[in-house]
Amino acid sequence: MAGAPTSTLRVIGYARCSTVEQATDGMSLDAQEARIRSWTEATGAELVEMVTDAGVSGSKALPDRGGGSRIAALLDARRPGVDAIVVLRTDRLGRNAAETLALLRRFRTAPVGLVSVAEHLDLATPHGRAMAGVSAVFAELERDLIAARTAEALGELKAQHRVWNHPPFGWDAVDGRLVPNDDEQSTLARARELRDAGMGYARIAAMLTDEARATKRGGPWQAMSVRSVLRTTAALDTRRAS
């Protein structure tokens, strides 16, 4: 009947992957988008837009991401123009369990809803809201365990001067063993000096780039790359000292 309201759910898909996840089975942007599109086809929902963040770590807050800022804005919009945001998993949204839970609380009262395909979550139901909280906690636990195992393995291999995967910044692989890279060790020392002086990661990145101090791949420094090498170095040093 002409003029009758439609019941079709209008949704926006959101996918995020870090540089490492882009090569991980099932977590690339293409894989996430395919799962979201399959869900919309199965449910009869209309996918009006697909928003993505490529090479973006989950440690970056949602509003600070290129695509994530679009999703964050919908939470504050009086008339978002869509009914829900669809993600593969809730860990695509928040930096940690606390932030993810805060976002879930906002979705509960926002004019736009949230659907997690892999977790079969729908925040329209009490059960869905409870399971969303549980999944956020376990997603953070999984990330912490992976980080701990990685730091422990790297620490053992560094102590033995052996190579595992790609050598961390500050080291080179020579005949299957780790040897210090003098230029990179100098850059690490400079980065730690600036950080100890209270400088933020973005400013440190700009200074290292201005000083022509190369990254492992020879490109310019970014705030997240500074944060990553400093945290990895700190974890390795702690492990070696223990």
Segment 168-180 shows an average pLDDT of 77
Strands 171-174 and 177-180: antiparallel
Same domain, 169 and 134: no
Q: Is residue 16 pLDDT above 80, yes or no? A: yes
Same domain, 86 and 136: yes
Domain end residue (candidates: 110, 143, 176): 143
Quick: pLDDT tens for 99-156: 777 887 788 778 888 888 887 777 655 555 555 555 555 555 555 555 555 555 555 5
175/238 Cα distance (integer angstroms): 26
The single residue listed with the structure tokens 């950080």 is 195
Same domain, 29 and 117: yes
In this prediction, residue 2 carries a pLDDT of 41
Structural domain span for residue 73? 10-143
Domain count of the fold of the chain: 2
124/137 Cα distance (integer angstroms): 20
Same domain, 117 and 80: yes
240/161 Cα distance (integer angstroms): 11
